């Protein structure tokens, strides 16, 4: 990798919404926190738009933004920053996978209790859509391209289990059972 863009951000503490907006933008972009007000992003063309948005947010807040192109002093420093970047992505993937596990457990519970209603189906579909969005967001933040084959596989499993649940709901709704009095 060519290097990093290091951002030194100073924004007044009040109103807090400005600090929060900058923090959210940097987190959404996959920036790695280095310390209070210091962040690093891979020095890639895709980062330019992020830098522009952060600069605009900092300017709106009457703050200061210092942008530096950087590399470590030696290979150990470069490896440490890369490890921090990958660790942040790994943490996100772990949290994503934990939510996928909860989602799969919820589908098992609904099958076990035969809770085959359109309302429940819609709720499960919304949960799956949230997982899909989250997956895309994490992939989008990983500018260096470290993929997670386990996450790919688990998300596909979530989709397959949802499809099975949807089929069970439609079967149940299409087959009302014996008529009263028969």
**Strand positions, DSSP E, the chain:** 4-10, 32-35, 38-42, 64-70
Whether pLDDT at 175 is above 70: no
Longest dimension (CA), the chain: 84
Q: How far apart are CA 168 and CA 116, in angstroms?
A: 7
Rounded to whole angstroms, how far apart are CA atoms 68 and 38? 11
Mean pLDDT lowest for which of 77-86, 127-136, 145-154?
145-154
Q: Are 71 and 6 in contact (CB under 8 A)?
A: no
pLDDT at 136 over 80: yes
pLDDT at res. 182: 46
Q: Which tokens sit at 23?
A: 């923090």
Tally of CB atoms within 10 A around 122: 11
At 72, is the pLDDT very low, low, confident or very high (cuts 50, 70, 90)? confident
- Please, which pLDDT band fits residue 178 given cuts at 50, 70 and 90? low
Choose between 160 and 179: higher pLDDT: 160
**Cα–Cα separations (whole angstroms), residue 20 to 11, 17, 160:** 10, 5, 37
Could you give the count of Cα atoms lying within 13 Å of 69 in the half-sphere of its Cβ?
8
In terms of pLDDT, which residue wins out, 129 or 89?
Answer: 129
Using a pLDDT cut of 70, give the percent of the chain over it: 95
**How confident is residue 13, by pLDDT bands cut at 50, 70 and 90?**
confident
Closest-CA residue to 127 (of 151, 153, 105, 152): 105
Question: What pLDDT digit, counting tens, does each position of 96-115 carry?
Answer: 999 999 999 999 999 999 99
């Amino acid at each position: 990798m060519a290097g990093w863009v290091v951002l030194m951000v100073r924004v007044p503490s009040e109103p807090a919404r400005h600090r929060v907006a900058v923090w959210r933008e940097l987190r959404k972009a996959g920036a790695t926190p280095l310390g209070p007000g210091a962040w690093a992003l891979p020095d890639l063309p895709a980062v330019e738009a992020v830098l522009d948005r952060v600069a605009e947010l900092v300017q709106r807040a009457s703050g200061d933004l210092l942008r530096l192109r950087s590399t470590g002093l030696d290979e150990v420093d470069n490896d440490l920053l890369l490890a921090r970047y990958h660790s942040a992505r790994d943490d996100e993937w772990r949290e994503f996978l934990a939510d996928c596990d909860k989602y799969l457990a919820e589908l098992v519970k609904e099958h076990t209790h035969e809770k085959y209603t359109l309302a429940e189906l819609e709720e499960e579909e919304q949960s799956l859509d949230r997982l899909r969005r989250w997956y895309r967001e994490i992939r989008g933040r990983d500018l260096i391209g470290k993929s997670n084959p386990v996450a790919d596989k688990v998300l596909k499993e979530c989709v397959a289990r949802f499809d099975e649940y949807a089929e069970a709901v439609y079967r149940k709704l299409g087959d009302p059972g014996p008529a009263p009095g028969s």
